[in-house]
Amino acid sequence: MATLIEPRAEAGIPAGHARNPGMALDLGRVAAVQVNRSAVERRAATLPARRTVKKEWQAAWLLRAITCIDLTTLAGDDTPGNVRRLCAKARHPVRAEILERLGATGLDIHTGAVCVYHNLVPVAVEALAGSGIPVAAVSTGFPAGQTPLPLKLDEIRASVAAGAREIDIVISRAHALTGDWQALYDEVRAFREACGEAHMKTILATGELGTLRNVARASQVCMMAGADFIKTSTGKEGVNATLPVSLVMVRAIREYYEATGYAVGFKPAGGIRTAKQSLDWLTLMKEELGDAWLRADLFRIGASGLLTDIERQLEYFATGRYSAAYHQPMA
């Protein structure tokens, strides 16, 4: 297996890291994909059991996890007010007194992005102005993806025009379930063109793809079509991010990188709610892809409740006690 290029010291990205342009669909390569489910499950089970991070190292890893969170609100009762509040938390995700006790006041800790529905993109863009934090919009008929292709493309273009710098698209699961990889490639390629300069995170909805082999094949096809990230789930499926599915996807990323030289990011989403879980996914990225994939340009965690628990754990490390719940009212 080829060795991953070491990250640049100043940026933490692989040398020569550039946006994935995609490639022609290679159906032979897709057909050759195989997954040993029992081996995947055994390897995934070792990740939370074998490696532990304690004390100041744990605090440092949790601060890193915060910088990789796509702080998300995707509820039917979202309002401009709660989106502005979310954006304020994205700017300052940990209370100042905790950062001071940790000696981290100079680190400019903020979340990786704020993720909202299209209609609230302008609100988030305004609230985050000057922060450098991008707004991500879910698109293409999220979460089911059951809308006509022209409407999906129009939705992407509208979100980009409104100021979204990242677009989280959903694939048509039927293409993967029926093995129509050409249709999936063409669809995702069209999404990528509609995104323009905005980065595209491609949601596979892995809980609805049936098999790990379908997950691996869909991952390869979406990267060939130009995905900047591949993402596990919408968070609305019955089964969302799991370590076995994530392992299959990050190994597909590794294979694609070794074959093409282009680094594709990874985003687990749905069900990651505790600080301990965030450490499991950071461990996965470090062990399977290396330190370059421990930064927001190549790794995100889609979450709405995770930040509260991370802040609680950081406060415990800093003070020796857990605070009352009302001290962390936003996540």
Residues with active-site annotation: 168, 231, 267
Q: Which of 323, 289, 313 is nearest to 7 (CA)?
A: 289
The pair of structure tokens assigned to 267 is 């985003």
**Distance between CA atoms of 38 and 97, rounded to whole angstroms?**
46
Output the CA–CA distances (angstroms, integers) from residue 209 to 149, 166, 173, 204, 244, in the order listed.
Answer: 20, 24, 7, 8, 14
Please state, as a whole number, how many other Cβ atoms lie within 10 Å of the Cβ of residue 231.
Answer: 29
- Mapped onto helix, strand or coil, the DSSP state of residue 199 is strand
**How far from chain centre, in Å, is Cα 160?**
19
**Distance between CA atoms of 215 and 208, rounded to whole angstroms?**
10
Q: Which of 198, 270, 255, 265 is nearest to 230 (CA)?
A: 265
Find the DSSP H helices in the chain. 27-31, 37-50, 55-67, 80-91, 96-102, 121-127, 149-161, 173-177, 181-195, 212-224, 243-260, 275-288, 306-319
Please state, as a whole number, how many other Cβ atoms lie within 10 Å of the Cβ of residue 90.
Answer: 26
Q: What secondary structure letter does DSSP report for 252? A: H
Q: Within 13 Å of residue 254, how many CA atoms lie on the same side as its CB?
A: 17
Residues 6+ apart with CB under 8 A from 123: 80, 83, 84, 116
Task: With residue 239 as reference, give the H or E element that holds it.
Answer: none
